[in-house]
Structure 1
Amino acid sequence: MNPTLLDLKDIHEPDVIAWWPPAIGWWILAVCIPLLIIFFIWLYKKLTRKTALKTARKILIQIKHDATRDNLQKLCAVSVLLRRVAISVSPQAKAAGLTGRQWLEFLDTSVKGLPFSEGVGQLLADAPYRKTPPTELEISQLIELCEDWLKAQTKS
């Protein structure tokens, strides 16, 4: 057979595939990756918040049942615990620098009424300046108030 008689054409390669527009899989990936990143950041924050609150509840129970501490030491430990929890569950700039009345008002925002500003919670601000240490009743009421505050943190 004579190749010139058959009228055969040379092999043609297909056109190069354009990079735009991307295939549907790339669009799905472009949407899913940022959503997954946001989801994992949210999950991490939620888990660390729960862990901080769970640990704080355990420490508060230890403080409550610790017979070796006097009432002033228990008060100091509760105060430190509340400060640490507040810093870990809320923006640090919001809670870290608060003292005195502002600190008590910040604590009041999570619970009903004004138990920190006008109730037993005032011990957190004025106990170091009192002549007498807080009574056992005041400490137990304060610890109950702190338990309520910790419960309110899990809801928000």
Structure 2
Amino acid sequence: MANTEPQLALADIQEPMLNTFWPPAPGWWLLALLLIVLLAYGFRFFWRKWQKALPLRQAKAELRLIKEPHQSAELNELLKRLVHCYSPRHPVLSAPVKQWQDFLQQQLPQQPIPDLQKLLYQQQSEQTDFSGYLQFAAKWLNKVSVKQLEQL
């Protein structure tokens, strides 16, 4: 005999499947790709900027190691190497000491520089001359930017 009760012939109601977050819609994929590209570009931009400033940061670190008057030549070499890093063909790099001193004085006119000829080539350099040159170098390195060094 056939089942005549209508309730027994019905199947259970099945709820529709819920939409989950995965896989995302194509718009989200495009947004994620755009975000990755922007992050990569930003990282590349800041990495290059950081790399360009590396010689200046190293010069500042080296400056902290120079403390004695007999290191006058090292201090002068440090400043010349810094200029050479950013402007390798600058004529002042091979110029006499007087022109080098004039160049430095133009970079920071309000800070006087002692006579470099006397400071660099004298047997015993005076502490006051060395201190003045060291102060000048410290102020210049803290004031100068990479952009200014590239424009020398």
Scaled by the length of structure 2, the TM-score of the pair is 0.56
Q: How does 1:113-132 map to 2 (within 5 A)?
A: 113=110, 115-116=112-113, 120=114, 122-123=115-116, 125-130=117-122, 132=123
Identity %: 19
Q: Which residue of 2 aligns with 1:54?
A: 57
Deviation readout 1:14-63 (Å, 9 max, x if unpaired): xxxxxxxxxxxxxxxxxxxxxx8xx96x973x433421111111111111
Pick the aligned partner of 2:103 from 102, 106, 114: 106
Paired residue type of 1:126? K
Aligned-residue Cα RMSD (Å) equals: 2.7
Q: Which residue of 2 aligns with 1:85?
A: 82
Greater Cα radius of gyration, structure 1 or 2: 2
The separation in 2 between residues aligned to 1:149 and 1:108, in whole angstroms, is: 10
Instruction: Indicate whether 1:141 and 2:132 are aligned.
Output: yes
Deviation readout 1:92-141 (Å, 9 max, x if unpaired): 2214322221111221222124723xxx2x23x333443x5122232222
What is the aligned length? Answer: 104
TM-aligned CA distance change 1:101 to 1:47, over 3 Å: same
Paired residue type of 1:147? A
Scaled by the length of structure 1, the TM-score of the pair is 0.55
Gaps of 5+ in 2: 1-40
The separation in 2 between residues aligned to 1:104 and 1:134, in whole angstroms, is: 17
